[in-house]
Amino acid sequence: MSDAAKALATTAGDRESGCALATAVSLAPGDTFYSELHGEEQKHTSCTLCGAHAERLLFEVEDTMFGRPGKYRLVECQQCSMRYINPRPTTPALARHYPNDYLCYTNFDHEHWLLRWAFNRMQQDQARRRVRQIERVTGRLPQGTTVLDVGCGRGELLRRLKNDRQTLGTGIDINRDVVDVLRRESGIPVLHGTLCEVGCESASFDLVTLTEYLEHEPHPRPVIEEVRRIIKPGGFVAIEVPDISGPPGRWFGPNWWQIDAPRHLTYFSPKTLTQLLESSGFEVLQVKRYSMLTSMGYSLLQAMGHRYCNSPKLLYLTLSALLGLPFVPFLSFLPDFMMVVARPRQAAHLALPPQHDRA
Ligand SMILES: [Zn+2]
């Protein structure tokens, strides 16, 4: 990137649009620059699914969780319709966007007891639902199933699987504090780092889970290819991500509660996630779409201009649940999440009988 373009990106464009990048500035994939408005290094990328460099701006989004300054561009690839943030913070710059009070790392220890109780209850229900949705495809997971949970956070899913199914779980997370707590409290082995860094053995897991994780990955394809390498023949991968193509994602646009920029960098639809899996050697077995109680309420609050970062947490989350109540009878028509289960595709000449008939 030229010095002139760099100056444009960090001065006029920032001041006028609140965005890291004025449209007049042409950046090539891989270019990095410093955004004074955001106070961070940012990087331009090509499409994270097909690699094309042909995108259109959908809208600008902001960090409503922590209220950091600046807006980000949410773009759509004109080749494959993948949606992603571009440009986005570089990997080192992303670290500050994940403080220990981010939702997947906190248990609201220092908050009101009601919030702590509701959050723990929600996490337990969520873990039960995830096990149920995975077993719709895999059948009941037998004792001793080897499970790797990528982006395990506080380990609710691994604990549930260990307690209810006696699985042999391993977690991976980038947050050192959360890794230490989970190791100490549960005895579950937890690796610190990213999946591509830790170097798991090939064909070593029956089940790999990535729940509310892949949308955070700057480059999801290498992660899925690594999953393909470490999964056993006949094993399964279960991926849960927000679905931007559902009604809430379409209706609320930049105010949809799952925008969560710049922690969410990729916004999947069933089509783009299926394309990613199939082009990485997987066969998709299930796409289960669903909604949550707070989906509509949280998005409505944001559309009315109320921000999580500017409100007491207990009040905001209670209001979002109350506002969501009238939509409960219609939630099956308002999906904005999906659980996709897939398994490695066997080459025709290598076709093997299933390792275990779990259906
Ligand atoms: Zn693309």
**pLDDT tens readout for residues 155-174:** 999 999 999 999 999 999 98
> pLDDT value at position 292?
84
**Burial grade of 330 (CB within 10 A; 0-12, 13-18, 19 or more):** exposed
- What separation in Å is there between the alpha carbon of 354 and the centre of ligand 1? 34
- In 174-326 the beta strands, taken as DSSP E runs, fall at 190-192, 205-211, 231-242, 266-267, 282-290
pLDDT over threshold 80, residue 20: no
Least Cα distance to 72 among 60, 82, 64, 63 occurs for 60
Q: Are 214 and 342 in contact (CB under 8 A)?
A: no
Q: Which amino acid is at 77?
A: C
The Å distance, Cα 87 to ligand 1 centre, comes to 15
CA of 268 to the centre of ligand 1 (A): 12
Q: What are phi and psi of 79, to 5 degrees?
A: -90, -45
Q: pLDDT digits over 217-228, tens only?
A: 999 999 999 999
Q: What is the pLDDT of residue 240?
A: 98
The pLDDT of residue 23 is above 90 = no
pLDDT at 284 over 60: yes
Q: Write the pLDDT tens digit of every residue in 139-156.
A: 999 999 999 999 998 899
Peptide bond just before 262 cis, omega within 30 deg? yes
Domain ranges of the chain: 1-44, 113-350
Q: What is the DSSP letter of 200?
A: P
Q: Among candidates 48, 94, 76, which has minimal Cα distance to 221?
A: 48
pTM of the model: 0.85
- 139: CA distance to ligand 1 center in Å? 34
Q: Mention every residue, 6+ apart, whose C-beta is less than 8 A from residue 246.
A: 289, 291, 334, 335, 336, 337
Longest dimension (CA), the chain: 62
Torsion region of 89: left, alpha or beta (phi above 0 gives left; psi -120 to 50 gives alpha): beta
DSSP-derived secondary structure letter, 159: H
- How much distance in Å is there from the Cα of 49 to the middle of ligand 1? 5
Q: What pLDDT, on a 0 to 100 scale, did the predictor assign at position 107?
A: 61
Are the CB atoms for 71 and 61 separated by under 8 Å? yes
Segment 265-274 mean pLDDT = 98
Residues forming a β-bridge with 305: none
Q: Which residues have their alpha-adjacent CB atom under 5 A from ion ligand 1?
A: 47, 49-50, 52, 77, 79-80, 82
Could you tell me the distance, in angstroms and rounded to a whole number, from the CA of residue 223 to the centre of ligand 1? 17
Q: Which CATH superfamily is domain 113-350 in?
A: Vaccinia Virus protein VP39 (3.40.50.150)
Which pLDDT belongs to residue 102?
Answer: 67
Compute the distance from residue 278 Cα to the ligand 1 centre, in Å.
15
Q: Give CA–CA dist 196/206, Å, rounded.
A: 18
CA of 115 to the centre of ligand 1 (A): 40
The answer on pLDDT for 354 being more than 60 is no
CA–CA gap between residue 211 and residue 130 (Å, rounded): 8
Phi, psi of 127 (to 5 degrees): -65, -40
